[in-house]
Amino acid sequence: MPREITAYSNPLIKRVRSLREKRHRREEGLFLAEGLRILTEARESGRLPVYLFFARDSAAHPLVRALVADVEAAGGEAIETVPDILSKLSGKDNPQAVVGVFEEFAVDLAALDRSTAKIWLVAERLRDPGNLGTILRTGDAVGAGGLILIGECVDPFSVEAVRASMGALFTVPIVQSGWDDFLAWLRGGPGQLVGLSLDTDQHYREARYAAPTFLLTGNEAQGMPADYAQACDVLVKIPMLGKADSLNAAVATAVMAYEVLARA
Amino acid sequence: MPREITAYSNPLIKRVRSLREKRHRREEGLFLAEGLRILTEARESGRLPVYLFFARDSAAHPLVRALVADVEAAGGEAIETVPDILSKLSGKDNPQAVVGVFEEFAVDLAALDRSTAKIWLVAERLRDPGNLGTILRTGDAVGAGGLILIGECVDPFSVEAVRASMGALFTVPIVQSGWDDFLAWLRGGPGQLVGLSLDTDQHYREARYAAPTFLLTGNEAQGMPADYAQACDVLVKIPMLGKADSLNAAVATAVMAYEVLARA
């Protein structure tokens, strides 16, 4: 039976709320995800929260009931609460019906099997959590094998990244790696490294792509370092007809990913 | 000569800061844009702020000097200030070197010349300011004739939308319209209305596009209403290989826009 918490001062509420900060996520190894759609995606991917908070008036919803049952069967705790506390946990005025606390997870580079997908996404020094989440969401859509984060990227378990991923955080494997380790691993097997560049005449719709293709997305403000570009097997450009010289990082990744999906 | 403001309590600082709220933007007909890149884009597009705030230690930067000179020549006011006040104006811990206050502008549907571009972007009930700004940025890149906002969309002059547009707010014409008015205008001349749908077998890479193409993007959570879909000349689908059934709205718009750019 779910217990009930209706007091802000409850220590668990304070603790869960602190997971909005990276420092506390690292200390606890836990992160927050919210909303029935994302939590159901997690459940279907075999990931259940250790704590599940749900609003009393959504307790009868079939997807909430399924979550509560599975969480309790797996040894987690389901907690009935009030909208105000859900607001406090999610940091939104209109809270979602459910908030889950999950254990962080990570995949090792060595555990990736590059033969399982024709597209892999690689991002270096990505700084915006919305971009990271959106890239995961696109990764899910194109059937990417995973997202490899190089260098100092924003935390994929931040509330904003999880939210923007719309659940893809649970379906697309995420690896964190240094550049040298990644490059050594990449060159230990088949794989084409493709990067976007302003300094090439190779149109992205005319380049040849060969699976598995690793699409490298550079930092939002600076793009990728010159030596990363030199390590690419193919550099391509996306035409820019306006005043600006770059696209949003998540948009550029998606345009490239769908091109490769159609032609690799 | 620029005047100097270093006190938070200055009435102009309070007034400018209030423009972070939509209500105050509507009352004043003014909005905020920040950052040297975006303000330079604005200047090159012929739009100058009525107030320009800049940090003392960036006063010598050639682009800041050019902005100050042009703003003063146009009758606006350049104001030297301190980083703390720039932070307060922009709502960011690491403030940009410049913040500008611009007069809002709008374009009438009747003023659009559809023969000037092969792609036009149309969004209905777009709710996320980051998505709106990102769609503008993509619009600039594909040479879109404009962005037509249908129904209750988020304010394109919000701080987040302006920031995500990276200056495209100043280069891509924006029209706000009702659906019926838009449709009447559209059918008064050549133009193909293209929408994304889950209920079609028409692959987006196989459909035929004919310029001018009007790309319709629906609400982030609900997509477009059935009668909007029925009004489309072509409905297409983008393949979704994963668990999710949709892409981020700005991503879907970009994938479609680049497809049309290559083939219309």
Asked if residue B137 lies in contact with residue A244, where contact means CB atoms within 8 angstroms, the answer is: yes
**CATH fold for the domain made of A109-263:** Alpha/beta knot (3.40.1280)
Residue A57, pLDDT score: 87
Residue type for position B129: P
Report helix, strand or coil for B66: helix
Rounded Cα distance between B49 and B39, Å, is: 8
Contacts of A244 in chain B (CB under 8 A): 41, 137, 140-141, 166-168, 171
Q: Please name the member of B41, B137, B251 whose beta carbon is closest to the beta carbon of A134.
A: B251
CA B27, chain centre distance (Å): 20
Rounded Cα distance between B85 and B57, Å, is: 13
Whether chain B has a CB inside 8 Å of the CB on A207: the answer is: no
Rounded Cα distance between A104 and B5, Å, is: 47
Report helix, strand or coil for A30: strand
Element (H, E) at B41: helix B36-44
- The neighbour count for residue B46, using CB atoms within 10 Å, is 8
| pLDDT under 50: residue ranges of chain A | none
Contacts of B171 in chain A (CB under 8 A): 242-244
Rounded Cα distance between A23 and B219, Å, is: 35
Residue B96, pLDDT score: 80
Pull the structure tokens for residue A92.
């939104």
Whether chain B has a CB inside 8 Å of the CB on A244: the answer is: yes
Residue B117, pLDDT score: 97
B93: pLDDT strictly greater than 90? no
Residue B245, pLDDT score: 84
Short-list A24, A14, A44, A94, CA closest to B221: A94
ipTM above 0.85, yes or no: yes
Same fold, B3-103 and B109-263: no
Whether chain B has a CB inside 8 Å of the CB on A198: the answer is: no
Residue A6, pLDDT score: 84
> Residue B7 — pLDDT band, cuts 50, 70, 90?
confident
Residues in chain A: 264
B226: pLDDT strictly greater than 90? yes
Contact A171 B261 (CB under 8 A): no
Burial of residue B57, with CB atoms counted within 10 A of its CB: 0-12 exposed, 13-18 middle, 19 or more buried:
exposed
Pull the structure tokens for residue B151.
């129904």
> Residue B57 — pLDDT band, cuts 50, 70, 90?
confident
Contacts of A120 in chain B (CB under 8 A): none
Short-list A248, A238, A252, CA closest to A204: A238
Pull the structure tokens for residue B258.
């680049």
Give tens-digit pLDDT for B235-264.
Answer: 999 999 998 889 999 999 999 999 999 998
Residue B91, pLDDT score: 79
Asked if residue B228 lies in contact with residue B179, where contact means CB atoms within 8 angstroms, the answer is: yes
Residue A109, pLDDT score: 96
DSSP state of B154: P
Give tens-digit pLDDT for B22-38.
Answer: 999 999 999 999 999 99
For residue A73, give every residue at least 6 positions away whose Cβ sits within 8 Å of its Cβ, in sequence order, or none. none
Does the bond joining A239 to the residue before it have cis omega, within 30 degrees of 0?
Answer: no
Whether chain B has a CB inside 8 Å of the CB on A41: the answer is: yes
Contacts of B244 in chain A (CB under 8 A): 41, 137, 140-141, 166-168, 171
Which of B255, B256, B260 should we substitute to test contact with A (largest number of A Cβ atoms within 10 Å)?
Answer: B255
In A66-118, the DSSP E strands lie at 77-81, 98-103
Residue B23, pLDDT score: 96
Asked if residue B218 lies in contact with residue B253, where contact means CB atoms within 8 angstroms, the answer is: no
Q: Which residue has the tokens 């987690």?
A: A76
Report helix, strand or coil for B111: helix
Whether chain A has a CB inside 8 Å of the CB on B128: the answer is: no
Q: What average pLDDT does the structure give for chain B?
A: 95
Give tens-digit pLDDT for B159-185.
Answer: 999 999 999 999 999 999 999 999 999
> Residue B198 — pLDDT band, cuts 50, 70, 90?
confident
Contacts of A254 in chain B (CB under 8 A): 247, 251, 254-255
DSSP readout, B10-35?
-HHHHHHHHTTSHHHHHHHTEEEEES
Whether chain A has a CB inside 8 Å of the CB on B143: the answer is: yes
- Report CA Rg, chain B: 20
Distance from CA of B127 to the nearest CA of A (A): 14
Residue A62, pLDDT score: 94
Of 3.50.50.60, 3.40.630.70, 3.30.1330.30, 3.20.20.70, which CATH number belongs to A3-103?
A: 3.30.1330.30
Q: Where are the domains of chain A?
A: 3-103, 109-263
- Residue A172 has phi, psi (to 5 degrees) of -105, 115
Strands B3-4 and B51-55: unpaired
